[in-house]
């Protein structure tokens, strides 16, 4: 069964304290791995798409990496405004070519204290 597991469930950091969030997956053929940010009461906001092992993408203080079994979201020198829930999702082969039908993890709730 295709599955996505995120860890830790919650992470508290001090401002400037770098860390990483983990997303491990088991899927029958990976079409793509996606990272989203979700603020309370809001919809997910797209961050990155990764397609193949070894790929890396960066955006401001965030960097996403991908291996054959997991992805990491590295947060460098976080600020309080980075506080949110970060969601990881995969698109498995066997589904249609759309980005719909994503399999989501439960997310990591990040809190950054000033």
Partner 1 sequence: NAGVMQNPRHLVRRRGQEARLRCSPMKGHSHVYWYRQLPEEGLKFMVYLQKENIIDESGMPKERFSAEFPKEGPSILRIQQVVRGDSAAYFCASSLTPTQNTEAFFGQGTRLTVV
Binding site for partner 1 (CB under 8 A): 4, 31-32, 34, 36, 41-46, 49, 51, 87, 89, 91, 95-107
Q: Give 40-52 as a DSSP string.
A: TTS--EEEEEE-S
Name which of 76 and 103 has its Cβ closer to partner 1: 103
Euclidean distance between CA atoms 106 and 114, whole angstroms: 26
Name which of 40 and 114 has its Cβ closer to partner 1: 40
Q: Cβ of residue 18: shortest distance to partner 1, in angstroms?
A: 26
Q: What is the DSSP letter of 82?
A: G
Name which of 18 and 26 has its Cβ closer to partner 1: 26
Q: Cβ of residue 43: shortest distance to partner 1, in angstroms?
A: 4
Residue pair 13/20 in contact (Cβ under 8 Å)? The answer is: no
């Amino acid at each position: 069964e295709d599955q996505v597991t995120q860890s830790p469930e919650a992470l508290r950091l001090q401002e400037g304290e770098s860390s990483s969030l983990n997303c491990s997956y088991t899927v029958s053929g990976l079409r793509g791995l996606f990272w989203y940010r979700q603020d309370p009461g809001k919809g997910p906001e797209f961050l990155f798409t990764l397609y193949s092992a070894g790929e890396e993408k960066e955006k401001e203080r965030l960097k996403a990496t991908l291996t054959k079994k997991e992805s990491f979201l590295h947060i460098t020198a976080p600020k309080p405004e980075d506080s949110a829930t970060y969601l990881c999702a995969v698109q498995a082969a066997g589904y249609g070519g759309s980005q719909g039908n994503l399999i989501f993890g439960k997310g990591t709730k990040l809190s950054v204290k000033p």
